[in-house]
Chain A
Amino acid sequence: MIISVEGLVKRYDGHTALDGLDFSVEEGDIFGFLGPNGAGKTTTIRILNAIIKADSGNILIDGHNVFKEPLAVKEIINALPESNGYYEWMTAHEYLEFFSNLYEEKKSKKDIYPLLENVGLSGKEGHLIRSYSRGMKQRLGIARALVNKPKLLFLDEPTNGLDPKGRRDIHDLLIDLNRKHGTTIFLSTHLLDDVERLCNRIAIINYGKIVREGELGGLKGKGTIEDIFFMSTKEGTL
């Protein structure tokens, strides 16, 4: 088990964003984390990424306690946040080199090129990021999230705002990462197509609680993914 979450609670100014969240993710999964807007997806990811603190609960990532060993966790995970900004004055190569330098195992200048090639940006490494299209920036964000060869990759709405070709490319990249490199992927999205194409397991969150969790194949026996989603999130109950 690469992620184990127990009784996670997070409150903001009296509002309970996460209300005793429990779930787990197995190594090698592409785990879909679904929920309507405001259900607590981004908050969950930020807590799992050791960026914000929880009020209570317990999280183990690859055996490390996220609250006690945040820097050890950050060495083995990485993420592409929902609204990822870029240092637009840098070139793609400089951007990846900068982030690579912040890890124990740094990449040499020439190790950066395969990363860019993997995300379809080879030949563009010397261009300033400000000249990139949205899709190219998204790919660069994924390349940044791969600089430390993470065992576990968190993606928050990675295909949002991309055209069909851009979405297909990202899908292919993620499948490739998972199958060839064994990277576990935690995918937060409300695009059900993405889930259907990529995920083997899902959890649905609503009002800060997991309302359904399991193998996608098993759950789909009860209807389409859309049916499952709407049944699970209606009024916050099953």
Chain B
Amino acid sequence: MKTAYIMQKEIKESILTPKGFLWYILTSIILSILSYLFLTNSELSLLDQGQMLYMIMNFITALGILIGLVFGADAFAGEIERGTLEALFLSPASKMEIAMGKLGAAISNWGIIFAISLPYLFVVGKGGQNVLTGIVYLLILGTLLAITFSAFSMGLSARIKSMKNSLIISFFMFLLAGAPIFLSAALRRTWFGRILDLINPFADAINTFDSVVIDSQGFSYQAGRVAIICGYTLLSLWFLKRSVSGLEM
């Protein structure tokens, strides 16, 4: 119950504010521009529906992760910098209850981004195959990645106690996770590229979207990658727990 009150406070502080609304309006504008380009641009409109859907799913996942990283970096370091964490620690809420409340707010943020993106996904994917399956995968993997990256960033925030530094490190880790995307197609087919692809949670998610939406492959093809993402989620939750239990003012 204390977790719920803390989550409610975090949502009011970060989401239900003019700044929070601005994030979502920007999200809508960017998604509108992307969808418009996909559907009207003479070169982009040559892509089939599946590829358009796949690209927009990647963008939504990346956006959810990035905003989650900002939430995570602010969670403890931001409160320490504003001098508000000590009062929270004086209450009988345990450190994990506080962390879970903050993580809950970060996941709610992902939920809102996902909800905003739904109409765009349906419009862009209209007439294509595997639209619903793709959206279900986006919901599941996006949620797991939002938890993974927010919890990681939150753990760093508790350890480093500097919002700026934890944000920089988190962004760097996210870029590392996305690194396989920047490799050439030939390099990605080598053993090195394959391993790099497999161990990166973000790359695992977009490869899964590719496999589900474009190649219409079933769950058995995705299970390994989904399991790896789940592993990262558990690992980041463990990291968060360790970091928060050692957090001192």
- Segment at the interface with A among B83-91, B153-161, B201-209: B83-91
Our pick among A74, A84, A86, A89 for the contact of B91 (Cβ within 8 Å) is A74
Given contacts A52-B248, A87-B13, A98-B5, contact A103 B92 (CB under 8 A): yes
Assembled-state Cα–Cα distance A102/B8 (Å): 12
> Which secondary structure dominates chain B's binding surface?
helix
Nearest residue in B to A53 (C-beta to C-beta)? Answer: B248
Our pick among B13, B84, B90 for the contact of A51 (Cβ within 8 Å) is B90
Given contacts A51-B249, A102-B2, contact A86 B84 (CB under 8 A): yes
Bitwise interface map of A from 84 to 116 toward B, beta carbon under 8 Å scored 1, else 0 = 111101000000001101111000000000000
In the complex, chain B residues whose CB is within 8 Å of the CB of A89: 12-13, 17
Given contacts A51-B249, A85-B82, contact A99 B87 (CB under 8 A): yes
B94 within 8 A of A: yes
B91 lies within 8 A of A102 (CB): yes
A103 lies within 8 A of B91 (CB): yes
Our pick among A52, A71, A86, A102 for the contact of B249 (Cβ within 8 Å) is A52
Size range of the chain B interface in the assembly: 20 to 34
Inter-chain CB contacts under 8 Å: number: 60
B188 within 8 A of A: no
Interface residues in A147-185 by Cβ distance below 8 A to B read none
Assembled-state Cα–Cα distance A138/B90 (Å): 16
How many chain A residues touch B (CB < 8 A): the figure is 27
B92 lies within 8 A of A81 (CB): no
Q: Which of A51, A53, A71, A85 has the most chain B CB within a 10 Å cutoff? A: A85
In the complex, chain B residues whose CB is within 8 Å of the CB of A83: 83, 86
Assembled-state Cα–Cα distance A41/B86 (Å): 16
B9 within 8 A of A: yes
Nearest residue in A to B1 (C-beta to C-beta)? Answer: A101
A87 lies within 8 A of B249 (CB): no
Our pick among A72, A74, A84 for the contact of B83 (Cβ within 8 Å) is A84
B2 lies within 8 A of A81 (CB): no
In the complex, chain B residues whose CB is within 8 Å of the CB of A104: 92
Instruction: Give me 16 A-to-B residue pairs in the complex whose CB atoms sit less than 8 angstroms apart, sorted by A's number.
Output: A51-B89, A51-B249, A53-B248, A81-B86, A81-B90, A84-B83, A85-B84, A87-B9, A87-B13, A89-B13, A99-B91, A102-B5, A102-B91, A102-B92, A102-B93, A145-B90
Q: Residues of B with Cβ closer than 8 Å to A?
A: 2, 5-6, 9, 12-13, 17, 79, 82-87, 89-94, 248-249
Q: Residues of A with Cβ closer than 8 Å to B?
A: 46, 49, 51-53, 71-72, 74-75, 78-79, 81, 83-87, 89, 98-99, 101-104, 141, 144-145
Please give me the 4 A-B residue pairs with the lowest Cβ-Cβ distance, nearest first. Answer: A85-B83, A102-B91, A85-B84, A74-B92
